């Protein structure tokens, strides 16, 4: 867009010279919206020796998205961060493997040098909200089963909040603070509960959320986050499709020699992680360019 290819009116509003008016540039933004319930893990359930976070991955069909099988993913994650508190917190996360909501990327109103405005619009579509509410209930039920509750206690809705982001930085201060926090957590069950309820969680208790659909939906919308899988803003399509940006050979429609070779080509997000598909797109487009030039 800052090079002059995009929705003409928007470019003009941002004082960018229009080279090619293509309405679809920046539209159709998709992701795998994510929601988590975390809990305190007892010592034997932790993965203290693991060099990185381990994920167990469950793919399932909600039965609530007509025509879509495997529309949901649930993950069990053995620790939440590098630090001492994060090593004691495990997480169940659910994400929409296929979401109906669409977002958009635009040039910032404060100018082209300040980065884009990104509006994901996660859960704007009711079908997405309903499936997240359902996923939340499923995760809560898992925490309630005997085998899990023996090892994972005090479950709470978690999010990548400002406080979590600050503690995520591997600094001396954070090491010190989280070592202190972890020592307190280990001191007694009561202290652990008080810490989780008063310091770690910033949402109402699970029981309250589960008994009030409107409250739950409001908190889900507030705490939904990204899996960092943004795709779709230069989607492929037929040459006469006014909202397509790229032709099936990945060339920008209306140009001779500009090609796109990344995850923004995807018309619809892949039903799982995007990194390998993005690499496949790169390889395929490289072959196509060799054939056509």
Ligand X SMILES: Cc1cc2nc3c(=O)[nH]c(=O)nc-3n(C[C@H](O)[C@H](O)[C@H](O)COP(=O)(O)OP(=O)(O)OC[C@H]3O[C@@H](n4cnc5c(N)ncnc54)[C@H](O)[C@@H]3O)c2cc1C
CB of 141 to ligand X, least distance (A): 27
Of 40 and 98, the one with the shorter C-beta distance to ligand X is 98
Q: How many CB atoms lie within 10 A of CB 69?
A: 14
CB of 261 to ligand X, least distance (A): 7
- Helix axis angle, 126-144 to 213-223, nearest 10°: 100
Dihedral angle sign, alpha carbons of residues 205, 168, 35, 56: negative
Of 12 and 280, the one with the shorter C-beta distance to ligand X is 280
Of 19 and 184, the one with the shorter C-beta distance to ligand X is 19
Of 188 and 275, the one with the shorter C-beta distance to ligand X is 275
CB of 275 to ligand X, least distance (A): 3
177 membership: H or E segment, kind and range: helix 172-187
CA distances (Å), origin 12, targets 16, 103, 113, 272: 6, 21, 16, 37
Q: How many CB atoms lie within 10 A of CB 145?
A: 9
Based on the number of CB atoms within 10 Å of its own CB, is 187 exposed (0-12), middle (13-18) or buried (19 or more)? Answer: exposed
Strand intervals (E) in the chain: 5-6, 20-21, 34-41, 55-60, 72-77, 89-96, 104-106, 117-119, 152-158
Of 206 and 244, the one with the shorter C-beta distance to ligand X is 244
Q: Are strands 117-119 and 34-41 parallel, antiparallel or unpaired?
A: unpaired
Collapsing DSSP states into helix, strand and coil, what is residue 288?
helix
Of 133 and 231, the one with the shorter C-beta distance to ligand X is 231
CB of 269 to ligand X, least distance (A): 10
Residues at the site binding ligand X, with contacts judged by CB under 6 A? 228-229, 262-263, 273-276, 278
CB of 283 to ligand X, least distance (A): 12
CB of 12 to ligand X, least distance (A): 21
């Amino acid at each position: 867009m800052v090079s002059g290819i995009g929705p003409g009116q928007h470019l003009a509003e941002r004082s960018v010279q229009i080279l090619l008016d293509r309405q679809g540039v920046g539209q159709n933004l998709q992701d795998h919206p994510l929601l988590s319930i975390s809990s305190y893990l007892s010592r034997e359930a932790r993965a203290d020796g693991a060099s990185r976070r381990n994920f167990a991955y469950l793919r399932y069909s909600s039965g609530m998205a007509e025509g879509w099988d495997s529309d949901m993913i649930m993950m069990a994650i053995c620790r939440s961060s590098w630090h001492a508190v994060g090593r004691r917190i495990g997480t169940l996360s659910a994400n929409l493997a296929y979401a109906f909501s669409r977002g958009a990327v635009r040039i910032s109103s404060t100018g082209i040098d300040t980065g884009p405005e990104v509006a994901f619009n996660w859960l704007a579509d009711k079908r997405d909200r309903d499936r997240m509410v359902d996923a939340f209930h499923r995760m809560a039920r898992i925490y309630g089963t005997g085998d899990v509750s023996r090892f994972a206690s005090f479950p709470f809705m978690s999010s990548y909040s400002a406080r979590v982001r600050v503690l995520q930085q591997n600094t001396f201060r954070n090491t010190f603070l989280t070592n202190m926090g972890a020592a307190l957590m280990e001191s007694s069950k009561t202290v652990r509960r008080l810490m989780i309820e008063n310091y770690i969680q910033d949402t109402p208790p699970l029981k309250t959320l589960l008994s009030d659909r409107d409250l739950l939906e409001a908190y889900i919308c507030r705490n939904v986050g990204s899996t960092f899988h943004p795709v779709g803003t230069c989607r492929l399509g037929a040459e006469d499709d006014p909202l397509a940006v790229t032709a099936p050979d990945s060339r920008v429609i209306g140009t001779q020699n500009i090609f796109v070779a990344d995850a923004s080509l995807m018309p619809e997000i892949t039903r799982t992680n995007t990194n390998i598909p993005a690499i496949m797109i790169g390889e395929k487009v490289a072959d196509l360019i060799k054939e056509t030039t």
